[in-house]
């Protein structure tokens, strides 16, 4: 008796995709443990805003208040200020992962049918 049928394989792949979407999106809405942080520049206490929360989600260890951040932005050369800084060459890589998730089950199904 063959346990892995095409139906079981397809259901398993769909379940993995659904679980990935459900648990993968949780980090995006995560909040810092405290609403208040200490500014690394001037040492004042400040409330997290959208910019510092995004930095926290990006695992940045330190945060700067609006005034210190504004000073830092003004101290940057104009060409660096105009061009957004990206850590990756193309993007987040989401399209490649989704393509792999879409193609891999079809390849496995094809290989299983050839065996």
- Residue by residue, DSSP assigns 85-111 as P-SSSSS-SHHHHHHHHHHHHHHHHHH
Tell whether the model's pLDDT for residue 23 goes beyond 80: no
Tell whether the model's pLDDT for residue 99 goes beyond 90: no
- Residue by residue, DSSP assigns 37-52 as EE-TTT--EEE--HHH
Sequence spans of domains, the chain: 46-82
Q: How confident is the model at residue 28 (pLDDT cuts 50, 70, 90)?
A: low
Q: How confident is the model at residue 4 (pLDDT cuts 50, 70, 90)?
A: confident
The pLDDT tens digits of the residues spanning 70-95 come to: 998 888 887 655 556 655 555 667 88
When mean pLDDT is compared over 66-70, 78-82, 99-103, 108-112, the highest value belongs to 66-70
Q: What percent of the chain has pLDDT over 90?
A: 19
How far is residue 56 CA from its own chain's centroid? 12
* 0.75 exceeded by pTM: no
- Measure the CA–CA gap between 19 and 12, rounded to whole angstroms: 11
The pLDDT tens digits of the residues spanning 46-76 come to: 999 999 988 888 888 889 999 999 998 888 8
């Amino acid at each position: 008796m063959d346990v892995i049928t095409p139906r079981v394989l397809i259901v398993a792949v769909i379940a993995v995709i659904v679980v990935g979407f459900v648990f993968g999106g949780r980090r995006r809405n995560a909040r810092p443990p405290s609403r208040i942080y200490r500014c690394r520049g001037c040492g004042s206490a400040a409330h997290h805003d959208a910019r510092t929360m995004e930095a926290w989600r990006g695992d940045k260890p330190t945060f700067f208040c609006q005034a210190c951040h504004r000073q830092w932005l003004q101290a940057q050369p104009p060409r660096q200020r105009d061009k957004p800084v990206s850590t990756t060459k193309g993007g987040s890589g989401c399209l490649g992962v989704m393509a792999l998730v879409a193609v891999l089950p079809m390849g496995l199904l094809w290989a299983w049918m050839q065996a």
